[in-house]
Amino acid sequence: MKFKVNKLAVAAVLCTGASAMAQTSVTLYGIVDVSVRSQTGLTSTYARSPLNTTTVASGVGPTSRWGLRGSEDLGGGLRAFFNVESGINVDTGASANTATFFDRASVIGLAGGWGTVTAGRQNTLVADSVGVVDAIGLRFAGLNPNIQVTSLTGHQLGIEFGTTASTGSSNRVNNSVKYAKPFGPVVARAMYSFGETAGDASRQRSVGLGLDYISSSFSATSAYTTFRDANDRELQAANLGASWLALPALRVMANAGYNRGETSATAVTRNRLLSAGVNYAVTPAVDVLAGYYKVNHSRTAQADDGFNRLLAFAEYKFSRRSRVFLELDKTHWKGNYLGASNKSTSNGVSLGITHTF
């Protein structure tokens, strides 16, 4: 839905208290996704388990969310814009993040011939990079290894790396400035998040660099980000991947992700991910998406473990905004990943509907 409002109204929405007389374009948008799901060897939050569950789940398809975005042409090729976005748990009606209302994005920026700069709470460059090459299009955030492992949405380190207000994820950081500049099909990116620790500028900061090649038939992406915690320990993360339009209706995608976190003065945790998959348009109304993910996990003085996972979707589009989907997943756990005495294999099936607005 699009509508015109005075800048004063936009300021009221953003709680800035500023006023102006010029007009800007503001869009209310969102995704509502819900499904019925049956699974073995997983909890309702998709942790490995000896038990089985049946749930009504939000976000098995794309993550449910709502947001506001707006822009204004300032003339001379310069544009000002903003975006605020909040996650939703449709099954309960609750906010996805009870501690941070606009948890998914809270940015303001300027764009011109010199590039684009944004400031606020936003994705890291590694998280942005994964979106270019994930085979299932960033669906099923709670179970997608590219989101959980490569993007650090669920790093399981129990430490706040970067200014995230979370000890479990580092896919989005606060107090950040991001810059991107296209050079034809090549896009160079840089990002810095201020730790805002008094007397020590390095603690809880994050720094990232990225380089992409984007075209309709072939895309390649690379990104690296390093984070610090309150004790100045380091977490490093990287992604490298490609997407190739092999046939008019078939796209092949693959990537390699890596992260290394210092969890104490003497202990280190490492994750390595390899993934490959396809997007195939069977008909204009039917899509099939599948990805296979291999995760190797190692920790100082402990046995290596990890998992292999297959995620697949078949989707039928009623319209541009509404679709239904059947999702299947299968996980083979290696060693005692996420705890002993759990099932060695987990399976799931979901039937859901997604509407965008």
Quick one: residue 14, left, alpha or beta (phi over 0 = left, psi -120 to 50 = alpha)?
Answer: alpha
Any idea which residue has 């709680």 for tokens?
15
Mean pLDDT of all residues in the chain?
93
Distance CA 173, CA 175 (A): 7
Residue 24: pLDDT band (50, 70, 90) is confident
The tens digit of pLDDT for each residue in 283-324 reads 999 999 999 999 999 999 999 999 999 999 999 999 999 999
pLDDT tens-digit readout, 68-125: 999 999 999 999 999 999 999 999 999 999 889 999 999 999 999 999 999 999 999 9
| Predicted local confidence at residue 12, as pLDDT | 38
Angle, CA of 357, 140 and 62, to the nearest 5°: 10
**Confidence tier at 340 by pLDDT (50, 70, 90):** confident
What type of residue is 299?
R
Helix (H) or strand (E) holding 240: strand 234-247
Instruction: Give 23's pLDDT tier (boundaries 50, 70, 90).
Output: low
Lowest-pLDDT choice from 3-12, 102-111, 215-224: 3-12
* Predicted local distance difference test score (pLDDT) of residue 19: 37
Residues 135 and 34: their CA atoms lie apart, in Å, by 21
Domains located in the chain, CATH noted? 2-356 (2.40.160.10)
Of 338, 259, 276, 340, residue with least CA distance to 310 = 276
**Helix runs in the chain, H state only:** 7-14, 125-133, 145
- List beta partners, residue 350: 37, 327
Per-residue pLDDT at 339 = 83
pLDDT confidence band for 4 (50 / 70 / 90):
very low
Percent above pLDDT 90 for the chain: 90
The pLDDT of 157-179, averaged and rounded, is 97
Contact 345, 330 (CB under 8 A): yes
* Contact by Cβ (8 Å): 297, 270: yes
> What are the residues facing 341 on neighbouring strands?
none
In angstroms, the CA 62 to CA 144 distance is 11
Portion of the chain with pLDDT greater than 70, in percent: 94
Which amino acid belongs to residue 339? Answer: G
